Structure 1
Amino acid sequence: MQPPEIFHRVARRLRRDRAADRFAEADFLRAFMVEGLTERLDAVTRQFEDVLDLGCFDAGMPLPGARVVRADPGFAFARAAGGVQCDEDRLPFAEGSFDLIVSAGTLDQVNDLPGALALIRRALRPDGLFLAAFTGGGTLATLRATLMAAEQERPAARVHPQVKLQSAGDLLMRAGFALPVADSETLTVRYGTLGRLLEDLRGMAATSLLTDRAPLSRSAIAQAAEGFAARADAGGRTPEQFEVIYLTGWAPSPDQPKPARRGSATVSLADALRPKP
């Protein structure tokens, strides 16, 4: 059974095409993600040869010393990077094409995320590495609250449904990844106005892509702007948070370390923790 289409695929491509020319003006969130992924990749003592940069935006993810395929859901980003235009849950790559797949900033807009992760694992060679970063459940809490308050009588979904950190590791396991790890970091940005936040979201192609989205009325926008300003700190700026979830997983391989067999320990935990005389 096909999962429901939560996000409008055509609107997603068009929003990304609209953002492509001026993305450098609003790339701070993806730059934060890329930095986190680069740190995790630098900790891996291994050279990768064939890499897929999935959701490449402006090809800003540094991947030296490897053959890199860039792919993006938007045509303009894919064309500028000399890559492939495709959705993450409809990958065109053959099984075992890559030994490393990285994705920064797009998996939070995928209709079939479990299916996308399964396709990513399939595209990896045995013992291949998958690293991803995307916004999670703690993102845009202030915006969500102000919009809800502005539409008290008939509130509508305005912010994308988001993956919780607790569920992220489970998704990796369901997709068949070995040694799955999910962790998160929070980026806080202070805004002078609601309009400036919305400009950033448009610039990073992160405005609503919900299939049943409806336009905000002028009165609701005005009320939301007032509510946003009312949450300002002593400096006159309103803090907004972006929770970034990082995923790390490996394609299964016989050579990988395995957890010890249950009951095989030769020393009890109590004995190991007991102070030595």
Structure 2
Amino acid sequence: MSYVAEDVALRLAAVSRHFPVAVDLGSGGAVADVLTSSGKCDTVWRADALAAGPGRPDLVLDEEALPFAPASLDLVVATLTLQAVNDLPGSFAQIRRALKPDGLMLAAVAGGDTLTELRESLLAAEVELTGGASPRVAPFADLRALASLLQRAGFALPVADTDRLTVRYPNLFALMADLRALGATSSLTDRLRVPARRALLVRAAEIYAERFSDPDGRIRATVEIVSLSGWAPHESQQKPLAPGSAKTRLADALGATERPAGEKAGDGGGGRT
């Protein structure tokens, strides 16, 4: 979370705006501290799905049923929480509705390559031992899908980019213990309801070590962080020109020679000989 909070600080520093009312959605308070220290926010509300954790949130809420009035917020920062909701398009739409015109949303979610090594190892082990497989690692949306969801929710000037981090562990069991401590165990409704057999986990650990370990024996786990930003529409924002309204040709701007379609470079306009 500290990595994401630092990234939020950098992105916020690049925005020459003041945000009277801001909400830290789901960071456990890490982002609230960043927003307060930035000097760009007058009031910062800390909102979380759980009341537990360091400090106490100002609001305990469900990310799929946000309690904010329409056009009541200037800034919403949602970090590493929205990938767990059942209706991500709906959550984006609610955030968009809660923002004032020209309000900003910054979000960070786990991307599609997150825990890909764990997913592959468990799948290979289960196919080998049972001849079939059950979903054991929840899927994550990829960059293009998330960017499309921003547009679908009605955000203006949407931007999406990604960072890939590598976290190393002694073995698969240390990785799974860390995920369990984070509350990041599988929440899929179609998963098997019985505990995984020991033989499956032992074989998955062997496959993981064979395919995704470094020379020192430690295994690698990929965490992809997709950073998103979007603005509530406002008349002052830049808008794309209508198709066909350009006043300068692309060839002139590039200093290139324009040729008729189908003519090869070097033909000199004579076509085939």
Partner of 2:172: 194
Q: Percent identity?
A: 49
Partner of 1:81: 56
Alignment of 1:109-120 (within 5 A): 109-120=84-95
Q: SS of the counterpart of 1:36?
A: helix
In our comparison, the structure showing a higher alpha carbon Rg is 2
Greater helix proportion: 1
Q: Return the match for 1:40 from 2, 8, 11.
A: 11
Q: Which has the higher contact order (CA 8 A, sep 6+)?
A: 1
Q: Return the match for 1:233 from 196, 207, 214.
A: 214
Cα distance per residue 1:155-211 (max 9 Å; x no partner)? 111111211111111100100000011110100112211111112212322221122
AA aligned to 2:177 is E
Partner of 2:250: 269
TM-score (norm 2): 0.85
Q: SS of the counterpart of 1:90?
A: coil
Q: Return the match for 2:183 from 205, 208, 215.
A: 205
Deviation at 1:114, TM superposition (A): 0.4
Contact conserved, 1:33 with 1:134, CA < 8 A, in 2?
A: no
Partner of 1:71: 47
| Whole-angstrom CA distance in 1 between matches of 2:35 and 2:84 | 24
Alignment of 1:70-219 (within 5 A): 70-77=46-53, 80-152=55-127, 153-214=131-192, 215-219=195-199
AA aligned to 1:230 is E
Alignment of 1:12-23 (within 5 A): none
Q: Which runs of 5+ in 2 are unaligned?
A: 257-273
Cα distance per residue 1:121-152 (max 9 Å; x no partner)? 01100000000001110111110011001211
Contact conserved, 1:138 with 1:242, CA < 8 A, in 2?
A: yes
TM-score (norm 1): 0.84
Q: SS of the counterpart of 1:88?
A: coil
AA aligned to 2:107 is A
Cα distance per residue 1:12-67 (max 9 Å; x no partner)? xxxxxxxxxxxxxxxxxx22222222211111011111001111324444112321
Contact conserved, 1:56 with 1:104, CA < 8 A, in 2?
A: yes
Q: Which runs of 5+ in 1 are unaligned?
A: 1-29
Contact conserved, 2:23 with 2:73, CA < 8 A, in 1?
A: yes
Q: More displaced, 225-234 or 45-54?
A: 225-234
Q: SS of the counterpart of 2:15?
A: coil
Segments ≥4 residues shifted beyond 3 Å: 58-61
| Whole-angstrom CA distance in 1 between matches of 2:183 and 2:3 | 16
